[in-house]
């Protein structure tokens, strides 16, 4: 059965048309998630919405409890996660107000816990293809149907923040590294979703051209907020179309996202830390 989780970023704090909406408190071994989770159904599909920064935007990109967020969604029974987040653009053709369906990441974050695993239970999952093509295709179709200008595929550079880039950094990411957009929140979120065997798709909503653009200069926060508000309306429209596209019945992921841990755990069973295993009950219970 499909259970769709939506992690909403800056500007997106609700799902329109949700039936029987209930704010649910979910406790995790990794601490409290960013907020309560809004659950309900939409077009016969179970939905869970988590505001990434918390209602009222209380968490910075660095302090978002990424592990707790992914664990909480998995603990609820979520099978598929859509990340919706604001970003800056490195490409003239990817303009403010456009959306990008992300398929690659460059992770430049450094102050965040990036794995559920560690000493006592070591695991290595592949993030060569960090987003789910099936779920990304549904997001693309929903965006097109909603009349949104959308780009199919793009590389998202995840920076630590909370400051925006210098001009030198922005030019390096764009010209030398080949990134298409820049944001602060999709890492380690995408890596953790893969460890939790959740299909993950990223919808990046462009708010600005970052600081490389000669005609735009420094990022203007007032312009960003205006574009954020416009993008939020489009984001809700996209999300509202996803249940009908995905349907209530769910087959195993053809790309193996839901089996990512099949051969990932390397620690011998008799050497595994029972305390860590207990914390992994939701994330890795299928293989443990």
Q: Are 283 and 70 in contact (CB under 8 A)?
A: yes
When divided into structural domains, the chain yields a total of 1
Say what the pLDDT of residue 13 is: 63
Say what the pLDDT of residue 285 is: 97
| Cα 179 to Cα 68, 75, 80, 241, 262, distances in angstroms | 28, 34, 26, 29, 31
Catalytic one among 35, 80, 98, 208?
Answer: 208
Say what the pLDDT of residue 217 is: 52
Mean per-residue pLDDT, 96-107: 97
Catalytic one among 35, 80, 98, 210?
Answer: 210
43 is catalytic: no
273 is catalytic: no
For residue 204, give the nearest of 227, 226, 170, 174 by alpha carbon.
227
pLDDT band at 10 (very low <50, low <70, confident <90, very high): low
Mean per-residue pLDDT, 66-77: 98
Q: Which of 4-13, 72-81, 138-147, 154-163 has the lowest mean pLDDT?
A: 4-13
For residue 225, give the nearest of 86, 68, 60 by alpha carbon.
86
Check whether 220 has a pLDDT greater than 80: no
Query: Higher model confidence: residue 62 or residue 220?
Result: 62
Return mean pLDDT, the chain: 94
Chain segment 265-281, per-residue pLDDT in tens: 999 999 999 999 999 99
User: Residue 231 is inside which H or E element, if any?
Assistant: helix 221-246
Chain segment 137-195, per-residue pLDDT in tens: 999 999 999 999 999 999 999 999 999 999 999 999 999 999 999 999 999 999 999 99
Cα–Cα distance measured from residue 157 to residue 244, given in angstroms and rounded to the nearest whole number = 31
Say what the pLDDT of residue 230 is: 84
- For residue 20, what is the domain's CATH number? 3.40.50.1580
Chain segment 221-268, per-residue pLDDT in tens: 677 777 888 888 999 999 999 999 999 999 999 999 999 999 999 999
| Cα 56 to Cα 11, 33, 59, 156, 280, distances in angstroms | 10, 14, 9, 25, 30
Helix axes 133-145, 221-246, angle to 10 degrees: 110
Check whether 219 has a pLDDT greater than 60: no
Please give the distance of CA 176 from its chain centroid, rounded to a whole number.
25
Q: Which of 17-21, 111-115, 196-200 has the lowest mean pLDDT?
A: 17-21
Mean per-residue pLDDT, 95-113: 97
Range of 248's domain? 3-284
Q: What percent of the chain has pLDDT over 70?
A: 96
User: What one-character DSSP code corresponds to residue 111?
Assistant: S
Chain segment 144-156, per-residue pLDDT in tens: 999 999 999 999 9
Q: Are 52 and 9 in contact (CB under 8 A)?
A: yes
Before 162, cis peptide (omega within 30)? yes
Q: Which of 116-130, 175-189, 206-220 has the lowest mean pLDDT?
A: 206-220
């Amino acid at each position: 059965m499909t259970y769709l989780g939506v992690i909403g970023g800056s500007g997106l704090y609700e799902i329109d048309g949700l039936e029987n909406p209930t704010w649910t408190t979910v406790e995790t071994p990794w601490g409290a998630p960013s907020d309560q989770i809004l659950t309900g159904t939409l077009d016969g599909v179970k939905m869970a919405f988590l505001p990434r920064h918390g209602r009222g935007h209380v968490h910075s990109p660095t302090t978002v409890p990424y592990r707790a967020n992914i664990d909480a969604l998995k603990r609820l029974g979520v099978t598929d996660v859509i990340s919706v987040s604001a970003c800056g653009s490195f490409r003239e053709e990817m303009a403010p107000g456009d959306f990008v369906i992300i398929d690659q990441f460059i992770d430049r974050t450094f102050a965040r816990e990036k794995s559920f695993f560690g000493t006592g239970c070591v695991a290595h999952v592949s993030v060569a293809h960090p987003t789910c093509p099936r779920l990304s295709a549904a997001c693309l179709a929903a965006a097109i149907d909603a009349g949104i200008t959308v780009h199919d595929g793009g590389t998202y550079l995840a920076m630590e923040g909370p400051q925006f880039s210098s001009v030198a950094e922005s030019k390096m990411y764009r010209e030398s590294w080949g990134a298409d957009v820049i944001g602060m929140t999709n890492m380690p979120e995408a890596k953790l979703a893969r460890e939790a065997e959740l299909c993950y798709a990223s919808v990046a909503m462009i708010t600005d051209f970052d600081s490389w653009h000669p005609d735009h200069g420094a990022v203007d926060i007032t312009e960003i907020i205006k574009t954020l508000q416009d993008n939020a309306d489009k984001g809700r429209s996209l999300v509202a179309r996803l249940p009908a596209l995905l349907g209530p019945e769910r087959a195993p992921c053809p790309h193996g996202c839901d089996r990512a841990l099949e051969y990932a755990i390397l620690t011998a069973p008799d050497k595994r830390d029972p305390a860590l295993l207990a914390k992994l009950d939701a994330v890795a219970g299928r293989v443990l």
